[in-house]
Amino acid sequence: MKVLTMTLFERLGLLLVLAFLLTRIPGFRSLLDRELDVKTTGMHALIFGLFGIAGAQAGVVMEGETFFSSFWVFQVEEHQMLVGTSLVAIVIAGLLGGPVVGWGAGCIVSLYMFQLGGMGALANSLVHPLTGFLAGWTARFFSQERVIAPTKALFIGIFPPILQGALLLVFSSQPEKMIPFVDRIGLPLVLSNSVAIAIFTAMIRVALHEQEQEAASATRRALTIAEEALPYLKKESPMEMAADIAELLFKELQVAAVSVTDRMEVLAHRGLGDDHHHRGDPLTSPLLQRAIQKGEVTIASMREEIRCPHPCCPLEAAIIVPIVQSGEISGLIQLYFRKSQQLRAVEVALAHGLGKLISNQLNAVSAEKLRLLIRDAELRNLQAQINPHFLFNTLHLISTLIRVNPDLARKITVHLGNYMRYNLRLASASLVPLEQEWEHLDAYLEILRIRFADRLNLVCHMEDGVGQAMLPPSTIQPLVENSIQHGLKDATSGGKVEIETRKGKEGIRIIVRDNGCGFAADILEQVGKTPVPSEKGSGIGLYNVNQRLIGLLGAESQLQVCNRRSGGSEISFRIPDREAAEEGVG
């Protein structure tokens, strides 16, 4: 028994070498991921069936109390039995592939064992498909594990040899001879099969861990490259962007060469072959054109597919990655290799990931540029809607004063000219210093003082040291205009508007208050948030100001509107202290 046990363990070496090679088959992963269809089920049943036949042939031929081995057994005599580790492959097939794969592999080994003949041929034929089915059924209890643990596999591996011994006794025509035979082979088979199954599952777990580590490493590389590529993708010049991307990929991926192209020509090439792969070379290869048309990652595994005209080009293989921008193929990234053997699955997967990441980043950059252009156009449009409101009122005042007080009309015209000069200068910028906005406001207020000299008092106060704070142009003037047009519309005397700046910890607060009638209670909550129509206008003035403040300074700068207890209203907004905010973040 001891000699038989040692012999079977020695023969396990060959079986485990085959098992190691099996774990390196790319399609073997579908078993681990439970991604089985009819084709892959049949293929894996065949593979494990052949593996089981190899396990049987790695055993010995028992004859009475002796045994002998042969390179290959073609026929077993009636008084002989082939004793091996064929059940190992069947158990693994069931544990990984389920009942169908296990049963299929067992049937293949069963047919082979039956045609070999020998003592217990029927029992050996039945035990293999039955073991495969039972192992697959048992695996369902461990479905939460991708690969069963070796300790559990060691325990499960004890039962198939016991089942084999039981069937040998049940179907034997001479039980008195079979009982001592089963005693001799029982323990060696239990030990060798259970240990082999445990080692096999450990090999699979190691192979799976290596695969996961490689995939994780590829993912980290792809994310690192995508992050470093973002500043280059924002460049306006396609040539500069392509050169920087090619340099980055060549350094990080350590491939033979990298080319970046648009749809027509090479924009940049870095690495081997740069003596004849030049910027401006046309894309003549049918493989490149197919990648552009289909938008799929394409692999060139032969020099002929690359179609390089140079006779001594060192580049033999390539992965061609299309770059999608705004739903269309905008260019290609070509990763070159010296030998086709370097085209591993991890490189192809990495190329797929890089293509998607770079395409997504290009789309994000384009969307951001478009968003900024749209926002700038909207804000300028809002600004254009505000300025004519004051202009029409002033022109109407001048036309009225020309007959009754030409000197005063001339004075207002001068102030209006000053106001408009400031307005034209400020209209070209999205943000201006508060001191310039204050000068703009002064020109406006001078006109109002002349117009409402008898019934309106305008008071302004700006603290020292706040003049360089940035805000949208023409922001304060519409607030003052709103106080006069709506808050003080019925005031015949004693009207007052105050404009004040206050510097605090969170920034500069600008306040416009009046002693008029205030806002109606039913519209107070909507002021600045939605256009509120009124008798004297569309009610869009405050809404436009609020939109510009939020768009350019952030939500914390939106208008704050309230009615004063003493009468009138107060509208304020805040200019955030950007330097303090940045110091707080740092």
- Summarised one tens digit per residue, pLDDT across range 95-154 is 888 899 999 999 999 999 888 888 888 898 899 999 999 998 887 777 666 677 888 888
pLDDT score, position 403: 84
d(CA 344, CA 337): 11
Asked if 133 and 39 sit in the same domain, the reply is yes
Tell me how crowded residue 465 is: count the other CB atoms within 10 A of its CB. 9
Higher pLDDT, 347 or 539: 347
567 located within any domain: yes
- CB burial class (10 A; 0-12, 13-18, 19+) of residue 526? middle
101 located within any domain: yes
pLDDT score, position 32: 55
Q: Tell whether the model's pLDDT for residue 267 goes beyond 50.
A: yes
* Residue 557 and residue 548 in contact, taking contact as beta carbons nearer than 8 Å: no
pLDDT score, position 381: 58
pLDDT score, position 258: 93
351 located within any domain: no
pLDDT tens-digit map of 462-479: 888 888 999 988 889 889
Domain of residue 407, CATH code: 3.30.565.10
* DSSP track, 363-388: HHHHHHHHHHHHHHHHHHHHHHHHHH
d(CA 443, CA 179): 117
Q: Tell whether the model's pLDDT for residue 512 goes beyond 90.
A: yes
pLDDT score, position 1: 63
30 located within any domain: yes
Domain of residue 278, CATH code: 3.30.450.40
pLDDT score, position 129: 94
Helices (H), 254-344: 286-294, 303-306
pLDDT score, position 581: 42
Higher pLDDT, 292 or 66: 292
Q: Tell whether the model's pLDDT for residue 584 goes beyond 50.
A: no
Asked if 467 and 438 sit in the same domain, the reply is yes
pLDDT tens-digit map of 16-32: 777 777 666 655 555 55
Asked if 38 and 159 sit in the same domain, the reply is yes
349 located within any domain: no
Q: Give the CA distances from residue 386 to residues 197, 432, 439, 558, in Å, rounded to whole numbers and listed in that order.
A: 82, 17, 18, 17
Give the end of a domain, one of 167, 182, 213: 213
Buried b (16+ CB within 10 A) or exposed e, 131-157: bbbbbbebbeeeeeeebbebebbbebb
Name which of 267, 292, 286 is nearest 277 in CA terms: 267
Range of the domain at 513: 369-585
* Residue 499 and residue 441 in contact, taking contact as beta carbons nearer than 8 Å: yes
Q: Tell whether the model's pLDDT for residue 583 goes beyond 90.
A: no
Asked if 244 and 205 sit in the same domain, the reply is no
Q: Tell whether the model's pLDDT for residue 334 goes beyond 80.
A: yes
Q: Give the CA distances from residue 482 to residues 79, 107, 420, 526, in Å, rounded to whole numbers and listed in that order.
A: 113, 91, 20, 15
Q: What is the mean pLDDT of the chain?
A: 82
Asked if 23 and 136 sit in the same domain, the reply is yes
pLDDT score, position 389: 63
Q: How confident is the model at residue 569 (pLDDT cuts 50, 70, 90)?
A: very high
pLDDT tens-digit map of 33-85: 555 678 778 888 898 898 888 888 877 888 877 777 766 778 888 888 888 88
Averaged over 189-204, what is the pLDDT? 85
Q: How confident is the model at residue 203 (pLDDT cuts 50, 70, 90)?
A: confident
577 located within any domain: yes
d(CA 456, CA 495): 5
Asked if 394 and 331 sit in the same domain, the reply is no
pLDDT score, position 260: 93
Averaged over 483-503, what is the pLDDT? 87
- CB burial class (10 A; 0-12, 13-18, 19+) of residue 542? buried
Q: Tell whether the model's pLDDT for residue 242 goes beyond 70.
A: yes
Q: How confident is the model at residue 514 (pLDDT cuts 50, 70, 90)?
A: very high
d(CA 368, CA 362): 10
Asked if 174 and 257 sit in the same domain, the reply is no
Asked if 338 and 393 sit in the same domain, the reply is no
pLDDT score, position 572: 94
Dihedral sign from CA coordinates of 554, 438, 400, 455: positive
Region class of 554: left (phi > 0), else alpha (psi between -120 and 50), else beta: left
pLDDT score, position 586: 37
Asked if 158 and 189 sit in the same domain, the reply is yes
- CB burial class (10 A; 0-12, 13-18, 19+) of residue 303? middle
244 located within any domain: yes
Phi, psi dihedral angles at 470 (to 5 degrees): -100, 140
Averaged over 346-359, what is the pLDDT? 82
Q: How confident is the model at residue 332 (pLDDT cuts 50, 70, 90)?
A: very high
pLDDT score, position 25: 65
pLDDT score, position 498: 94
pLDDT score, position 500: 93
pLDDT score, position 190: 87
High-pLDDT (> 90) share of the chain, %: 15
Averaged over 201-213, what is the pLDDT? 75
Tell me how crowded residue 495 is: count the other CB atoms within 10 A of its CB. 22
Averaged over 267-281, what is the pLDDT? 91
Asked if 374 and 274 sit in the same domain, the reply is no
Domain of residue 173, CATH code: 1.10.1760
220 located within any domain: no
Asked if 184 and 273 sit in the same domain, the reply is no
* Residue 5 and residue 191 in contact, taking contact as beta carbons nearer than 8 Å: yes
* Residue 324 and residue 292 in contact, taking contact as beta carbons nearer than 8 Å: no
Lowest mean pLDDT among 204-218, 277-291, 341-355, 357-371: 204-218
pLDDT score, position 384: 55
pTM of the model: 0.47
Q: How confident is the model at residue 501 (pLDDT cuts 50, 70, 90)?
A: very high
Asked if 275 and 208 sit in the same domain, the reply is no
Averaged over 285-294, what is the pLDDT? 88
d(CA 427, CA 409): 26
Give the contacts of 203 (CB within 8 A, at least 6 positions apart): 16, 19, 20, 23
Domain total of the chain: 3
Which of helix, strand or coil describes residue 514? strand
